[in-house]
Structure 1
Amino acid sequence: MRSIVMLDAADARMLIDRAIAAASAIGVPQNIAVVDAAGALLAFHRMDGAKPYTADFAIAKARTAAGLWASTAQLAEVALPGQRGFGLNTLRGGEVAVLGGGVPVTAAGKVVGAIGISSGTVHQDADIAQTAVQEFEALAARAQPTEPAR
């Protein structure tokens, strides 16, 4: 039997809080989505002033990052014409997002979920998502009990 590490509601709140702080620091209100490893929505937050239409983009970015185990910024690079992933964005009825702002969350080397950010520029979205995940993973790593020395 395998043990599975999963994000929970408290983890999702921590990720959202970190994304809000990063977005506030640069003055860009955002739509923020957190999904589990299967792409199921755990939490969503739209900051005051975020573009309402991009809420669905944040969710799509998070689902794409969780499902493909890669940041959507990385996927954007391989989805360009002439690249090995060209047309990736047309899969699953166009649900695959290839705009920066989706970043997988990992624990013990496994993808356990993802965050999606949308409402700023693609670079702002990607930077905020990356910052939130790095800060969350650093906190989670410090909270993990360590194995006793043998």
Structure 2
Amino acid sequence: MNGITLQQAQQAVAAAQQKARDLNLKMNIAVVDAGANLTAFARMDGAWLGSVDIAIKKAKTARYFDMPTGDLGQASQPGGSLFNIEVSNGGLITFPGGLPIKNAQGDIIGAIGVSGDSVENDHTVAEAGMQALQ
């Protein structure tokens, strides 16, 4: 399986940044490769410092489990089958803003994580980055 290239990762970050600008948001945007290694990152001017770690962990979480972080969050609620999963793997993020990135063949090549505003806006910005590579 081929992982995301630096050029592709930077393209995803640029598209996410543009969406954030369109929505007048200040975001941290992280892209990881197929091995969940940080490949590209941007902290927009004025974005929350605390969201740097969250954006990276959202991207890693989306890649570790090959699903949107919000979907994992639904399964990890009290009483859910994955309750407390967020304490595994050195800490996961189980709310929206992390999405797997697939290539044209449908293989997961990496993931994007965005943090800096509401989880709905984080997801919207991450989706723009992901879609830039579809």
TM-score, normalised to structure 1, is 0.85
Determine if the alignment matches structure 1 residue 101 to structure 2 residue 78.
no
1:111 corresponds to: 108
CA contact (8 A) 1:32 1:116 kept: yes
Consecutive unaligned residues in structure 1, runs of 5 or more = 138-150
Distance in 2 between residues matched to 1:90 and 1:5, nearest whole Å:
29
1:73 corresponds to: 70
Determine if the alignment matches structure 1 residue 15 to structure 2 residue 12.
yes
1:65 partner amino acid: A
Runs of 4+ more than 3 Å apart: none
Q: How many pairs align?
A: 133
Higher helix share: 1
Question: RMSD of the TM alignment (CA)?
Answer: 1.0
Distance in 1 between residues matched to 2:106 and 2:81, nearest whole Å:
25
Task: State the Cα distance separating 1:42 from its structure 2 match.
Answer: 0.4
Distance in 2 between residues matched to 1:13 and 1:52, nearest whole Å:
21
What SS does the aligned partner of 1:92 have? Answer: coil
TM-score, normalised to structure 2, is 0.94
1:28 corresponds to: 25
Query: Percent identity over the alignment?
Result: 33
Distance in 1 between residues matched to 2:82 and 2:128, nearest whole Å:
26
Superposed CA deviations along residues 112-142 of structure 1, whole A, max 9, x for unmatched, are 10001001111110111112212321xxxxx
Distance in 2 between residues matched to 1:68 and 1:8, nearest whole Å:
20
Please list, as runs of the form range in 1=range in 2, the aligned pairs for 1:133-148 lying within 5 A after superposition. Answer: 133-137=130-134
Consecutive unaligned residues in structure 2, runs of 5 or more = none
Whichever of the two has the greater Rg, that structure is 1
1:83 corresponds to: 80
Task: State the Cα distance separating 1:83 from its structure 2 match.
Answer: 1.7
Determine if the alignment matches structure 1 residue 53 to structure 2 residue 53.
no
Distance in 2 between residues matched to 1:31 and 1:90, nearest whole Å:
22
1:26 partner amino acid: L
Distance in 1 between residues matched to 2:120 and 2:50, nearest whole Å:
18
Tell me which of the two structures has the higher relative contact order, counting C-alpha pairs closer than 8 angstroms and 6 or more residues apart. Answer: 2
1:105 partner amino acid: I
